[in-house]
Structure 1
Amino acid sequence: MSIETAELRARLLKLLEEDTEFRYAVAGLIGLGEILRRLERHEEELKKIWEEIARLREDMNRGFERYDQQIAKLWNEIAKLREDMVKGFERHDMELAKLREDLNRPREDFNRAIQLFEKLGG
């Protein structure tokens, strides 16, 4: 490498460090401008994606709230059905107890009749 080339390089590097306008001109020539424009587009697209994610999250949360309300209604309905079943079982138990009493009464009468018959000499 010749001395002239080395000096030219040194001057170019110094210009790049000190002269902002020159630095941007060189950057544009080597395609940095296109890269920066693409980065800006990507940032805009990324911003749109995050906004869409936020909207989707809001929609999802509203859906969860609806499902939570539906589940709460179902549990309330289950509780009511359980109460109705318990009341039905209680009525059933009372009816069975009455039937048992009704069935026992003739047997008791019969047993008394036998005892009376035996006392009378039977």
Structure 2
Amino acid sequence: MFLKDEFLRLLEEDREFRYAIMGLLGIVNLRNAVSDLVSAMRALTEEVKGVRADVNELKSGFSSLGNRVSKIETRIGSIETRISSIEARLDGVEVRLDKVEGRLDRIEESLDRIDRTMERMIMSLEEEANYVAQYYLGQRGIVVKTGPTYLDARYEFDIYGTNGRVTVVGEAKVRAGPDTVREVNDRVNEAIKQLS
């Protein structure tokens, strides 16, 4: 026991002895290794803290991005709903336009028929007016052949005829009032001035 006590005392009191023993036992290398390990653990702990901060920042960014994506999805859903509504309304408008086009086609056909009928009526009215004018002039002993005439685009007359002594100028109208007579008279006077 004496040796053990002496050995423990030297370890406690003699620093050089203690380092020599530590060197022999490899404790210095172990101490250095533990010191290096502690330094590495501190550095690793700092790295982990940095990584945690980065991860938390990424989580926050992803959360914000998720909220924005959710809002965008909601807006897109709203836009899709509005587009569907507009498409449905456009389908209704197309159906109504098809009906309107059908009606317009029928109106156009009716107008064409009316136009042709009016043209035939006007032609027969002009023919009848010339026949009646010739008949009444013949009743008074005046023989004049009448018919429609065109001096130019402005001066078209439904009844016109001359025998050298008498000239007859007139318009064939379904209805004629004082204004119509004045208008025909003014056109005849203008035509006379043009021809003079």
Mapping 1:25-104, distance limit 5 Å: 25-26=22-23, 30-104=28-102
Q: Which has the higher strand share?
A: 2
Q: Which has the higher helix share?
A: 1
Q: 2: CA distance between counterparts of 1:60 and 1:89?
A: 42
Specify whether residues 29 and 82 from structure 1 end up closer, same or farther in structure 2 by C-alpha distance, changes over 3 A only: closer
Q: Which has the higher contact order (CA 8 A, sep 6+)?
A: 2
Offset from partner CA, 1:67-114 (integer Å, 9 cap, x none): 111111111111111111111112211111111111222445659xx9
Cα distance, 1:43 vs structure 2? 1.1
Offset from partner CA, 1:21-63 (integer Å, 9 cap, x none): 5597335775333222111111111111111111111111111
| AA partner of residue 81 (structure 2) | E
* Residue correspondences, number: 95
**Identity rate, percent:** 13
Specify whether residues 79 and 41 from structure 1 end up closer, same or farther in structure 2 by C-alpha distance, changes over 3 A only: same
Q: 1: CA distance between counterparts of 2:27 and 2:68?
A: 63
Q: 2: CA distance between counterparts of 1:38 and 1:103?
A: 92
Q: 1: CA distance between counterparts of 2:104 and 2:27?
A: 116
Q: TM-score normalized by structure 1? A: 0.62
Q: TM-score normalized by structure 2? A: 0.41
Q: 2: CA distance between counterparts of 1:108 and 1:73?
A: 52
Backbone CA RMSD of aligned residues: 3.1
Structure with max Cα Rg: 2
In structure 2, the gaps of 5 or more residues are 12-17, 114-196
| AA partner of residue 78 (structure 1) | I
